[in-house]
Amino acid sequence: MKRILFLMLALIVWSAASTKAQVVIGNSPGALTPHAGAFLDLQSAPYTVEETTYQGKGLLLPRVQLTDENTFGLSGGNQDEAVGMIIYQDGDAIGKGIYLWTKETGQPGKWELIASVE
């Protein structure tokens, strides 16, 4: 009995050690192998619903309402660890568009507009 439990435990440990840390999310049948350089690979393939073919799906960024470019303003988390966060700003305080949170060493962070929609 102990030998069977040991073998089962060894099998579980071996299978866990051989898994990959990459994740694929998508609806691409048969193409769900992640890109080797990607931590997260979003895939979308054309699909048909009631004789209408759609070209796939997109990524919807979180919509937030910032007060200004120099205030992080999002709930939770450390703003120093959020460098690289991307959001869609849809409030009226600053221009609407896609913003990237940046921070240089020793400087305060700021939201940089990377794509305007106005």
Give the 3-state secondary structure of the chain.
Answer: CHHHHHHHHHHHHHHHHCCCCCEEEECCCCCCCCCCCCCEEEECCCEEECCEEECCCCCCCCEECCCCCCCCCCCCCCHHHCCCCEEEECCCCCCCEEEEEECCCCCCCEEEEEEECC
| 19 pLDDT above the threshold of 60 | no
Best-predicted range by mean pLDDT (7-11, 48-52, 95-99) = 95-99
Q: What is the CA radius of gyration of the chain?
A: 22
Percent of all residues in the chain with a pLDDT value above 90, rounded to a whole number: 38
Domain ranges of the chain: 2-54, 63-116
CA torsion through residues 28, 30, 36, 39, sign:
positive
Give the pLDDT of residue 15.
60
Q: Nearest to residue 96, comparing CAs of 117, 74, 110, 71?
A: 117
**Arithmetic mean of pLDDT, 10-20:** 60
